Amino acid sequence: MSFNRKTLLGLASAGLGLTATIASADGELQLYNWTDYTSPELIEKFETETGISVTVDTYDSGETLLAKLQSGAAGYDIAIPTHNFVPILISEGLVQPINASELEGYDRIVPNLASPWWDEGNVYSIPWHWGTTSFTVDTAVYSGDVDDYDVIFNPPEELAGQIAMFKSPDEVITMAQVALGLPFCSEDPNEMQQVLDLLMGQKPHVKTYNSDGILERLVSGDVSVHQNWNGYSLLARKEKPSLQYAFPEEGVVAWADSLVVPKGAPNYDNAITFIEFMLEPENIAIQSNSSGYANGVTGSEAFMDEGLKDAAELSPPEGTPLKFIESCSPKAVELQNRVWTALLK
């Protein structure tokens, strides 16, 4: 799939005046989402308009979400996986159909996220946000070129011991593969050994592997370089202007998150109400303004903060490859797990 921020946000000039009134409903909604990825203003608006009470639970990685649902955990009405996890959830019967094409507002989904490869026909999902994964550098500590993977994988002296990485094999390994020019989902042990060698060489400089508390670590100066998502880097820069998001010439990992309804959701109708609510341009814009990420709903740009529309973090330099992560085979996943286990020993 090939699309960029201008494709998504540029399509947001149409669709104004499409706001529909969501029918009044009562009851509860259990939302399972990434940490710091749900706008309080959005939830308050949804509760006010629908009478539905929302409870938010959080996770720190796609692997955590998958394991939770695989364990048979019940009680969640909405979950928000990254796109490469959606086919896994579908194949394992962990999510149920929503038949999005029949829902109010489906025609507002931008073309490049309507019927994507990971869920053709949007039978099980609709888009939430899309973005990139790279790293954030404190330029008050390091004044060199930040758009270079050596900054994080082979750091200069002033950054030694000041590196933080996600605690997620999927995200750490894919970024290493981009830096090395290797394909995602490799089944080649020799290629995965190259990945392990790169990460083991980096390890002495890594202060922590942690996907939580990123903004706090960067703003406080606890670390000077942090693997990061572009929207979260934007939020951090608003608090500390010396922070800069990197776009190395090899490219950056790209992803799209989706709304799905887990199997056994106790409040299916309320989940559908929430999904239709999120297809309203004004509502998804509230979420984008809070999280710092682009979305896939036409017409939402009119409601977005000016600082979000023009943010450098959301505007990859022309020619920067956006490398969308893939759903890997069991053999590839096993190799990833072996690399991750060896790294964290």
What CATH code is carried by the domain that includes residue 273? Answer: 3.40.190.10
Asked if residue 140 and residue 125 are part of one domain, the reply reads no
Asked if residue 268 and residue 242 are part of one domain, the reply reads no
Has residue 55 been placed in a domain? yes
Tell me how far apart the alpha carbons of residues 315 and 302 are, in angstroms, rounded to a whole number.
18
The total of structural domains in the chain comes to 2
Matching residue, tokens 């979305």: 295
Has residue 326 been placed in a domain? yes
Structural domain range at position 172: 132-254+319-344
Tell me how far apart the alpha carbons of residues 209 and 175 are, in angstroms, rounded to a whole number.
14
pLDDT tens, per residue, the chain with 345 residues: 333 333 334 333 333 233 333 334 579 999 999 998 999 999 999 999 999 999 999 999 999 999 999 998 879 999 999 999 999 999 999 999 999 999 999 999 999 889 999 999 999 999 999 999 999 999 999 999 999 999 999 999 999 999 999 999 999 999 999 999 999 999 999 999 999 999 999 999 999 999 989 999 999 999 999 999 999 999 999 999 999 999 999 999 999 999 999 999 999 999 999 999 999 999 999 999 999 999 999 999 999 999 888 899 988 898 999 999 999 999 999 999 999 999 999
Has residue 314 been placed in a domain? no
Asked if residue 338 and residue 214 are part of one domain, the reply reads yes
Residue 208, C-beta contacts closer than 8 angstroms, at least 6 positions apart:
164, 165, 217, 223
pTM above 0.75, yes or no: yes
Has residue 233 been placed in a domain? yes
For residue 46, the tally of other CB atoms under 10 A from its CB is 24
Q: In a 10 Å sphere around its CB, with 0-12 CB exposed, 13-18 middle and 19+ buried, how is residue 306 labelled?
A: exposed
Asked if residue 63 and residue 41 are part of one domain, the reply reads yes
Report residue 327: phi and psi, to 5°.
-85, 125
Asked if residue 169 and residue 82 are part of one domain, the reply reads no
Pairing assessment for the beta strands 95-96 and 261-262 based on DSSP bridges? antiparallel
